[in-house]
Structure 1
């Protein structure tokens, strides 16, 4: 691969990020997270299959490290007992590029059977998908083409999911007033622990 090829991939991904639809849905999503997690004392539950599931896991751990309790729920394992992690005031963040992932669609029904009032934030590429239509708040990726030459491998789409997750984390941090001292309490070791403690002095 030439340097020009690398630059072309970087440009495609950067352009895709800049074309993510920006609406008030972001504000609505973080308002829901603050309401359910910080006021009602529930937790954020993230879910996704495959590569989207890996992004959902990362989003959950990032939320945890920045003051918002979160956990990843595997949609298949949810059908075998793990659904029991859901509590009354929890809120679910679901990720599916197509918005048609069978296990995620089934999780909606399962979660509502357990808690009819549970609310869903969705990250997807298709505003007409089943998942988007079931969402209380839908965040769209803009449906960019994958940089994979086959147009199949989740590459650009997972970048969009990650960036949208970052926006939710950063806005939630701002709304709850999360500061360096709060960060230091959750990071006792490593470089980030040292840096957060120095910033909080």
Structure 2
């Protein structure tokens, strides 16, 4: 064999050995976005309105008109809207409006789960709705004493509804909203 061929084969052999001597590829483990939220600490909220409740200390509350409130979560870009109405022989209309608002989300929702809430001791009766899917809100509720008071609540995020993306924040805020209905007291 000629020296040129041997020299060429030697170079090819060295290239093959050099290129093939890498470490075996190791697949990366599956990962998920990690969102850590602080453990919720609750404090009683009371003012001149005819009801009080416990809310997350991380949230910022702003009073709207007629004892309505916006409970904002700036880090999560979410708000719980609370609305208050006086019952004045219009309980059926108020219930119908609350249920209609909830079921307007049925177009985008995968499922709407109803969870009745009854606290005879505090005279708080209502319904908590969990909305699954890409609806504008993932939780709503109404609560009443059936005589004087009627409160509705709903959660909205300042993002396009994509339940998979907002699920950790939605779950966190939903738990806070459940705390509101569970600690609601009439004055």
User: TM-score, normalising length from structure 2?
Assistant: 0.33
Larger RCO (alpha carbons 8 Å, 6+ apart)? 1
Specify which structure has the higher proportion of strand: 2
TM-score, normalisation: structure 1: 0.31
Name the larger-Rg structure: 2
